[in-house]
Amino acid sequence: MIIQILPEQCIACGLCHTYNPIFNYDIDGLVRFDTGDTELDIAPDASLVQAAKECPTRAIVVKKN
């Protein structure tokens, strides 16, 4: 699956990190991946899908590849 983050939509609530530690934050508290990328192609993971569903600003997008 492909997971994309949209930092410009993030409100720094921290909810995504409670679902999966792959989500990190920059100095302003906005969501980032440790790699610095805004899109990752990774194995399917239910916690990432749940993080995307729960994000209040839809700053996380999950796409099936």
What is the pLDDT at residue 61? 97
- The candidate with the shortest Cα–Cα distance to 16, out of 57, 55, 56, 61, is 55
pTM: 0.89
Give CA–CA dist 50/19, Å, rounded.
Answer: 7
Taking only the tens place, the pLDDT of each residue in 15-59 is 999 999 999 998 888 999 988 899 999 999 999 999 999 999 999
What is the pLDDT at residue 35? 86
What is the pLDDT at residue 17? 93
- Tokens 């916690």 sit at which residue? 47
Q: Residue 43's domain spans which residues?
A: 2-63
Check which CATH number belongs to the domain holding 33 and give it: 3.30.70.20
Strands annotated E in 1-65: 2-5, 23-25, 31-33, 39-41, 60-63
What is the pLDDT at residue 36? 84
Q: DSSP assignment, residue 5? A: E
